[in-house]
Chain A
Amino acid sequence: MFDLFKIAVRNLIRYKRRTFLTASLIAIGVIFVLVFISVSGSFKNLIIGQVTDSMLGHMQIHRKGYVASLDSLPLTMNLKPKAVEKVENVLKPMPEIECYSKRIKFGGMFSNFVETTNIRLNGVWPEKEFKTVPLLQSRIVKGDKGIKKGEILIPELIEKGMKVKIGDSVVIIATNQDGSVNGKQFRVAGVLESATGPGGRDGYIHIEDARDILRMEEMEISEIALRLRDFSKLHQIYASLQSSLSSQRNSKGKPVFEVHTWEKLSPFYNISRMIDLMTFFIKLMLIAIVLVSIMNVMIMAVYERIREIGTIAAIGTMPEKILSMFIIEGFFLGIFGTVCGIVLGTVSVYVINIMKVSFDFGRNTGLILSPSIKVWDILVISAIVIVVSIIASFQPAFKASRMEPIEALRHV
């Protein structure tokens, strides 16, 4: 086998320029794919981080049907204390869940005593909320980095539109689930920068204040946002939660809860899927590049070496050995191009990291890309190139192995 490798390598060295050009083409393809995967992956992770850590959390649990009517923030679909307790009994023993935050979500009117506008509010336990969505505090661009009772964090849009300042008194008016209206005065404690995605323009108050305004006799919860210790286990934990909570049925035998990952809650998931789709097509392009370039070079190699093939066949070399010789040659060409591509691709990604390329996404500005190459991606790309190299070499190699020595020896 070693001798077949030696012959293959020498044949590649024999046509230096052609080998270099073909390997360069493969390397460029590999660099392109690696840089694309790492940059798009970095972009994706950054935005997913923004979406989940600013407001959504990694997962959310609601009463069944709540998400379908999320736009109206229906108070009638809140979870009752018993239901919340059942959920917490499932969540607390799970070590994979870092923390969770219970929220009361509702719509109301915001008045500065001169003008009135509508507002979406989240009543939260501040400490738990800040742990569950750690970027929330960094979104507070003015005022206190916390939420106390009697205080409100308002979105930037309302601050500007209603000309409200930190420390001003405002009134929140809301209708409770019985239809009665109630109002409560708040001090503006901070201003929240908007974030892309659902809930990105919401205000925040303490959960006890939300209960007061909505005149809840007992603490009802609209949603429970979860943060996982390891985000990569999202789907695994989702499946586990889903199975635990789906066993909870109401008196009509229907499921009480619904669990959603961030993917079902944010429109960015569609962009993320488009990025995945583009990555898939970029990989297809790489396959095409490798297939065409290797097949072309191997067809040329066979054509130029017809007399040599005739000679070795006449000497008694078996067809399968001739087949192996050419396949190994294509295989090495693929490996050479892949190794060059991986080295140069890694260097390119390193350079992008050094350059600290920044971009804006929605209202998030100055996000810095930090692309990285995963070992898994390198393995997948290498496997693609190597397998395609072998496939591309097969046809010319098969032709060489089937050549009649007498005809090959006559070839001029």
Chain B
Amino acid sequence: MGMSVVIAENVYKSYLVGEISVEALKGLNFTIEPASFVSFIGPSGSGKTTLLNLIGCLDRPNSGNLTVVGTNVSNLSRRQAASFRGEHIGFIFQDFNLIPILTVYENIEYPLLMVKNTPSAERRKRVYDLLEAVGMSEQKDKYPDQISGGQKQRVAIARALVANPKIVLADEPTANLDHHTAYMIINVMKKMKDKLGTSFIFSTHDPKIVGEVETIYTLEDGKLSNG
């Protein structure tokens, strides 16, 4: 096992709701190893999304150290954070968040084209490989509004993986899917983890898919109960 992809040391995060300060994360300590399949579970408001936002450099902790892929991300600037995300992190969203004006192929290609400026031939190979891997080759020319929710999430997985990130973050990736489709999506993610060695970190409160996860961290009231 190599260097941990995420190291959290006494991470605190609070934010204001109106005039009230809410402590979302209260001194978290944990590590996540490469090529792991980790889920943070817990009830709504337990801090799962806040934690994923911190790991994904979309937000910054108030205190503590958060090291992601060997970089302390606690104090990255806007531009540094954007660059870091493009380089090391893939995102899968609950609502899929595909770009409606781009085809399935173009949605997957987007990070290589607009973020990493990958050469055309390499881009093409990478997109076709991932289309194949997530079983969406047939639908490559369709637009997001022409495919089902499960297919959209497969496209989102392919898009998250196309730039070869070390970590893929997925916030409630199966929340908008039926159980069968959710199970399939989890399996696609696991398969991709095994194939590419990417760490998948996701949040869920769906007990039915928790069984598919290798490591589970339970968050309650901003603290890890089994960290």
Footprint of B on A, CB under 8 Å?
A: 3, 7, 10-11, 13-14, 307-308, 310-319, 321, 405-406, 409
Question: A312's contact among B84, B99, B116, by CB below 8 Å, is which?
Answer: B99
Query: Which 6 interchain pairs have the tightest Cβ spacing?
Result: A316-B86, A10-B101, A311-B97, A316-B115, A406-B58, A316-B85
User: Does A319 contact B101, Cβ atoms closer than 8 Å?
Assistant: no
Chain A facing B: main interface SS: helix
CA A13 to CA B100, docked complex, whole Å: 12
Across the interface, which residues of B come within 8 angstroms of A316, CB to CB? 82-87, 89, 111, 115-116, 163
User: Does A406 contact B82, Cβ atoms closer than 8 Å?
Assistant: no
User: Does A321 contact B114, Cβ atoms closer than 8 Å?
Assistant: yes
Across the interface, which residues of B come within 8 angstroms of A7, CB to CB? 101-102
Question: B114's contact among A14, A317, A406, by CB below 8 Å, is which?
Answer: A317
Knowing A3-B113, A321-B114 are in contact, say whether A314-B58 is a contact too (CB < 8 A): yes
Across the interface, which residues of A come within 8 angstroms of B95, CB to CB? 307
Question: B56's contact among A308, A314, A321, by CB below 8 Å, is which?
Answer: A314
User: Does B101 contact A317, Cβ atoms closer than 8 Å?
Assistant: no
- Which single residue of chain A is at the shortest CB-CB distance from B163? A316
- Which single residue of chain A is at the shortest CB-CB distance from B91? A314
CA A13 to CA B95, docked complex, whole Å: 24
Give B50-92 as 1s and 0s: 1 = Cβ < 8 Å from A's Cβ atoms.
Answer: 0001001011000000000000000000110011111101010
User: Does A319 contact B78, Cβ atoms closer than 8 Å?
Assistant: yes
CA A406 to CA B54, docked complex, whole Å: 10
Q: Is B217 an interface residue (CB 8 A)?
A: no
A-B contact pairs, 26 of them (CB 8 A): A10-B102, A14-B100, A307-B95, A307-B97, A308-B97, A311-B91, A314-B56, A314-B85, A315-B86, A315-B91, A315-B111, A316-B83, A316-B84, A316-B86, A316-B87, A316-B111, A317-B82, A317-B86, A317-B114, A317-B115, A318-B79, A318-B82, A318-B86, A319-B82, A321-B114, A405-B58
Across the interface, which residues of A come within 8 angstroms of B56, CB to CB? 314
Min C-beta distance of A3 to chain B, whole Å: 6
Across the interface, which residues of A come within 8 angstroms of B53, CB to CB? 406
Question: A315's contact among B59, B78, B102, B115, by CB below 8 Å, is which?
Answer: B115
Which chain B residues (26-62) contact chain A, with CB distance < 8 Å? 53, 56, 58-59
Across the interface, which residues of A come within 8 angstroms of B110, CB to CB? 312, 315
CA A13 to CA B115, docked complex, whole Å: 24
Across the interface, which residues of B come within 8 angstroms of A313, CB to CB? 82
CA A319 to CA B78, docked complex, whole Å: 9
Q: Is B183 an interface residue (CB 8 A)?
A: no
CA A227 to CA B113, docked complex, whole Å: 64
CA A321 to CA B95, docked complex, whole Å: 24
Which chain B residues (106-164) contact chain A, with CB distance < 8 Å? 110-111, 113-116, 159, 163
Across the interface, which residues of A come within 8 angstroms of B78, CB to CB? 319
Knowing A316-B83, A318-B79, A319-B82 are in contact, say whether A11-B93 is a contact too (CB < 8 A): no
CA A314 to CA B97, docked complex, whole Å: 11
User: Does B79 contact A319, Cβ atoms closer than 8 Å?
Assistant: yes
Across the interface, which residues of A come within 8 angstroms of B163, CB to CB? 316
Min C-beta distance of B165 to chain A, whole Å: 9
CA A317 to CA B159, docked complex, whole Å: 14
Contacts A315-B86, A317-B82 supplied; 16 other A-B pairs, CB < 8 Å = A7-B102, A10-B101, A14-B100, A311-B99, A312-B99, A313-B82, A316-B82, A316-B84, A316-B116, A316-B163, A318-B79, A318-B82, A318-B86, A319-B82, A321-B114, A406-B58
CA A3 to CA B114, docked complex, whole Å: 8
CA A313 to CA B78, docked complex, whole Å: 10
Across the interface, which residues of A come within 8 angstroms of B114, CB to CB? 3, 312, 317, 321
CA A311 to CA B56, docked complex, whole Å: 12
CA A311 to CA B94, docked complex, whole Å: 12
User: Does A318 contact B83, Cβ atoms closer than 8 Å?
Assistant: yes
Across the interface, which residues of B come within 8 angstroms of A3, CB to CB? 113-114
CA A409 to CA B82, docked complex, whole Å: 15
Across the interface, which residues of B come within 8 angstroms of A318, CB to CB? 79, 82-83, 86, 115
Knowing A7-B101, A14-B101, A307-B97 are in contact, say whether A315-B79 is a contact too (CB < 8 A): no
Min C-beta distance of A72 to chain B, whole Å: 77
- Which single residue of chain A is at the shortest CB-CB distance from B85? A316
User: Does B93 contact A409, Cβ atoms closer than 8 Å?
Assistant: yes
Min C-beta distance of A284 to chain B, whole Å: 35
- Which single residue of chain B is at the shortest CB-CB distance from A311? B97
CA A313 to CA B53, docked complex, whole Å: 13
Across the interface, which residues of A come within 8 angstroms of B84, CB to CB? 316
Min C-beta distance of A306 to chain B, whole Å: 12
Min C-beta distance of B164 to chain A, whole Å: 13
- Which single residue of chain A is at the shortest CB-CB distance from B100? A14
- Which single residue of chain A is at the shortest CB-CB distance from B90? A315
CA A312 to CA B110, docked complex, whole Å: 9
Across the interface, which residues of A come within 8 angstroms of B113, CB to CB? 3
CA A3 to CA B95, docked complex, whole Å: 25
Give B155-195 as 1s and 0s: 1 = Cβ < 8 Å from A's Cβ atoms.
Answer: 00001000100000000000000000000000000000000
Across the interface, which residues of B come within 8 angstroms of A311, CB to CB? 91, 93, 97, 99
Among B93, B95, B114: residue with most chain A CB under 10 A: B114
CA A318 to CA B79, docked complex, whole Å: 7
CA A314 to CA B86, docked complex, whole Å: 8
- Which single residue of chain B is at the shortest CB-CB distance from A13? B101
CA A27 to CA B133, docked complex, whole Å: 48
Min C-beta distance of A347 to chain B, whole Å: 32
Among A14, A313, A405: residue with most chain B CB under 10 A: A405
Min C-beta distance of B15 to chain A, whole Å: 10
- Which single residue of chain A is at the shortest CB-CB distance from B50? A406
CA A307 to CA B99, docked complex, whole Å: 10
- Which single residue of chain A is at the shortest CB-CB distance from B171? A409
